[in-house]
Amino acid sequence: MTTMSAYEIAESVRDQKVTATSVIERSISNANALNPKLNAFLAIDREGALEAAERIDSIIAKGGSPGRLAGVPIALKDNMCKVGLPTTCGSKILEGWNPPYDATVTKLLQSEGAIIVGKTNLDEFAMGSSTENSAFGPTLNPVDLTRVPGGSSGGSASSVAAGIVPIALGSDTGGSIRQPASLCGVVGVKPTYGRVSRYGLVAFASSLDQIGPFTSSVMDSAITLEVISGFDPKDSTSYDQEVGSLSAQRGLSIEGLRVGIVTEFIDGSDPEVVGALRDAAEGLARLGAEVVEISIPETKLGLSAYYLIAPAEASSNLARFDGVRFGLRVEGSNIEETNVLTRTKGFGAEVKRRIMLGTYALSSGYYDAYYAKAQQVRTLIKSGFEQAYQRVDVLISPVSPTTAFKIGERSLDPLAMYLSDVCTIPSNLAGHPAMSVPYALDSQGLPIGVQVLAPALREDLMFRLAFALEESASGVPTLDPSIKEAIIHG
């Protein structure tokens, strides 16, 4: 278990209390020791990470400044590019593809001294809520190995929860950072759409995708987001507006802050999940927040709109995987046959389902009834949130209607799987920031997160509330005994 936070690691490395090399050695040893049980990593880069660590140590030895995340081991979800490592997106279709460039987030992290130790497992092309849709086998939840870690960024959530790395990045199109964060008991943040550059993130649904951190503490997420956010000329949707100091929100009073509990997200959630949320609300009220319940009826339409918009965009984005340029190619007798054979072999069932849904929604004769209608609903959801934010400053809700479910429990029932994201999808449609803060445990010891939602570009308020929630959180999950046993302590 990484007992130190990223913040503490960087400080100890800079103060020469530990070397970056020793920090990385331990992280890699744990990745290697735990991966046979968790399947959280698709690549572990011992050589590259140790080389980077030596560079950090030599900068420090020469009195240079190694950066805010000096020597901190970081894992990237395997849909983000880093030169020198394959990017698979959890798919067979990208077999053997090595990106020729770094994602902007990769560069920004490295420029602050962070060290990428590996790439994490995911549902194929980030489509899923359990990481069971990976072509490379499912990732398991380190709290209970019979259960899913959530998805699609399950490998990132699992690797942070198991203490292999203090920070991992994920991507969130409909909940893929927040839901696995909640199911594994770690912090997970989806920033405002446009806050973090998507350059070098393999696109799923471009108008919804955002990159964000998984960490054990709210402070580490605040620091990571400060590092990775900012304008990028390579992503035309990125904002030219400073995120400001999120870490400075710790300890600020929430007295008088107006907090709304979203009624629609409570309906349909498990009683234990709702109970944890109510506890959290009471804790916030004791700290002086004004808590009210608020209805945003438009959010009920989120799931239906999302499953038209996201597949539509995916069907277009995934057209580039045709056996010509990237990865796998199954030769046919002509180009069309090559396309068909390659895509039939390279894509898994869920990706094919999404491509078919999306192509249908965009096809002539159906476009107005499905895609255009879903876009109108999207506008309604956004204005529903905007009206709510005239009455309250921030919102809270469950992250996921249930705690971690069993491996296999929902894999044959796509609708049951899709329902995992009812509480998270609306923020993606609105483009607003939202995060999961670990709050309590259910009667089986499984983590329950609380979602904090804020208006666009108000990550400051979101973090202020998250820091307060973290203070009153009641349960730290116990790791599965076989994971605990395998951890190599420093």
Length of the chain: 490
The yes or no reply on residue 313 touching ligand GLN (CB under 6 A) is: no
Q: Is 176 a catalytic residue?
A: yes
**For ligand GLN, which is the closer residue by CB, 127 or 399?**
127
Q: Which stretch binds ligand GLN (CB under 6 A): 34-42, 125-133, 256-264, 379-387?
A: 125-133
Question: Which amino acid does the sequence have at 149?
Answer: P
What would the x/- binding string for ligand GLN be over residues 56 to 75, using CB under 6 A? --------------------
How many chain residues are in contact with ligand GLN, going by CB under 6 A?
14
Query: Would you give the binding string for ligand GLN spanning residues 385-424, x where CB under 6 A is met?
Result: ------------------------------------x---
Quote the tokens at residue 193: 């759409």
Report the nearest approach of ligand GLN to the CB of residue 128 (Å): 5
Give the CA count within 13 Å in the CB-facing half-sphere of 324: 10
What minimum distance in Å lies between the beta carbon of 209 and ligand GLN? Answer: 7
Measured at the CA of 378, the angle between CA 152 and CA 212, to 5 degrees, comes to 35
Residues contacting residue 335 through CB under 8 Å, at least 6 positions apart: 324
Q: Which of 156, 176, 229, 397 is catalytic?
A: 176
Among the residue ranges 4-12, 122-130, 232-240, 462-470, the one whose residues contact ligand GLN (CB under 6 A): 122-130
Among 25, 172, 459, 480, binds ligand GLN (CB under 6 A): 172
Stretch in the footprint of ligand GLN (CB under 6 A) among 88-96, 126-134, 448-456, 461-469: 126-134
Q: Rounded to the nearest 5°, which phi and psi values hold at 39? A: 55, 40
Tell me: does residue 129 bind ligand GLN (CB under 6 A): yes
Contact string 200-219 vs ligand GLN (x = CB under 6 A): ----x---------------
Stretch that binds ligand GLN, among 165-173, 243-251, 262-270, 275-283 (CB under 6 A): 165-173
d(CA 322, CA 320): 6
Closest CB 172 distance from ligand GLN, rounded Å: 5
Smallest gap from residue 41 Cβ to ligand GLN (A): 19
Would you count residue 128 as binding ligand GLN (CB under 6 A)?
A: yes
437 - beta bridge partners? 450
Query: Which segment (62-70, 173-181, 386-394, 472-480) binds ligand GLN by CB under 6 A?
Result: 173-181
Site for ligand GLN contains 173 (CB under 6 A): yes
CB of 420 to ligand GLN, least distance (A): 6
The closest alpha carbon to 388, from 430, 337, 451, 329, belongs to 430
Instruction: Indicate which residue of 5, 27, 77, 119 is catalytic.
Output: 77
Q: Does 124 bind ligand GLN (CB under 6 A)?
A: no
- Measure the CA–CA gap between 23 and 13, rounded to whole angstroms: 9
Please give the span between the terminal C-alpha atoms of the chain, in angstroms, as a whole number.
9
Residue (of 180, 235, 237) closest to 213 by Cα position:
180
Give the shortest CB-426-to-ligand GLN separation in angstroms. 12
Using CA atoms, how far apart are residues 447 and 475, in angstroms rounded to an integer? Answer: 8
Q: Which is nearer to ligand GLN, 73 or 188 (CB)?
A: 188
Site map 22..61 versus ligand GLN, x via CB under 6 A: ----------------------------------------
Q: Decide if residue 450 touches ligand GLN (CB under 6 A).
A: no
Reference 12, options 75, 62, 56; nearest CA is: 56
Q: Which is nearer to ligand GLN, 45 or 172 (CB)?
A: 172
Give dist(CA 349, CA 486) in Å, integer.
Answer: 34
- In sequence order, which residues have a C-beta less than 8 Å from that of residue 257 and are 6 or more positions away? 288, 289, 290, 393, 394, 461, 464, 465
Pairwise CA distance, residues 50 & 76, whole Å: 17
Please, what sign has the CA dihedral across residues 268, 270, 273, 279?
A: positive
Does position 175 interact with ligand GLN (CB under 6 A)? The reply is: yes
Q: Name the amino acid, one letter, at 431.
A: G
Residues with Cβ within 8 Å of residue 165, at least 6 apart in sequence:
2, 27, 31, 73, 74, 75, 117, 159
Listed residue (275, 267, 270) closest to 297, CA to CA: 267
Q: Which residues are catalytic?
A: 77, 152, 176
**Which residues form the interface with ligand GLN (CB under 6 A)?**
126-129, 152, 171-176, 204, 310, 421
